Amino acid sequence: MNFPDIADEAAEREQQLIEVALANRPKPQMAYTGECHWCEEPISKGHYCDASCREDHEKFIRAQSQRGVA
């Protein structure tokens, strides 16, 4: 890499790091099942029946990860 300006080189390296991080990120594990992932109510689309269930499930997952159980 030959860049006339060190700022250009830094920007290019930063972009490379971003691309590598995006390529190696974990893929989402949830799939549409027809039921809310939290309360198991029937739904026609998405993963949760409403925002409250989504927030409760996210809080539960966060708590589990803090405990080292998940």
**How far apart are the C-alpha atoms of 23 and 28, rounded to whole Å?**
13
Rounded CA Rg of the chain: 20
Count: domains in the chain: 1
Q: Which residues pair with 42 in a beta bridge?
A: 35
Report residue 43 as tokens: 């739904």
Question: Which residues constitute the domain of residue 38?
Answer: 30-70
In a domain, 46, yes or no: yes
pLDDT of residue 65: 85
Q: What's the mean pLDDT in 32-60?
A: 92
More confident residue, 28 or 4: 4
In a domain, 40, yes or no: yes
**How far apart are the C-alpha atoms of 20 and 39, rounded to whole Å?**
36
Confidence of residue 70 (pLDDT cuts 50, 70, 90): very low
